[in-house]
Amino acid sequence: MSVINLTKKTFENEVLKTDKTVLIDFWASWCGPCKMLTPVIQQLSEEVPEGYKIAKVNVDEERELAMKFGVSSIPTIVVMKNGKIVNQAIGYRPIKDLKKLLGL
């Protein structure tokens, strides 16, 4: 599965109206830890089973979404299920920690 780039236009369909658990990575191109997390997010997207989505939100391009989630530090990882936040973390995390956030 490929990583989905979320925008405020696609957020509702991709996150709120899905029955899948969605991990969202809030990031920016200038952020060092975000750059370190990018290949981990990509690997995670290739390893998660059916029923999960992996997505990214560029906070510079989608400020409204970042504000909606109260993102003040990046990377911020948010896990959502049924339109509700079920887990979150701030900062770089190895893949095993991301899988744990997803309940895998």
pLDDT band at 1 (very low <50, low <70, confident <90, very high): confident
What does the pLDDT read at residue 21?
97
The residues that are catalytic are 31, 34
- Tell me the mean pLDDT in the region 63-89: 96
- Tell me the mean pLDDT in the region 19-36: 97
Q: In whole numbers, what is the pLDDT of the chain averaged over residues?
A: 96
- The CB density around residue 93, as the number of other CB atoms within 10 Å, is 20
Taking the C-alpha atoms of residue 98 and residue 8, their distance in angstroms, rounded to an integer, is 24
Helix axes 32-47 and 95-102, enclosed angle (nearest 10): 60
Residue given tokens 């770089």 in the structure block: 92
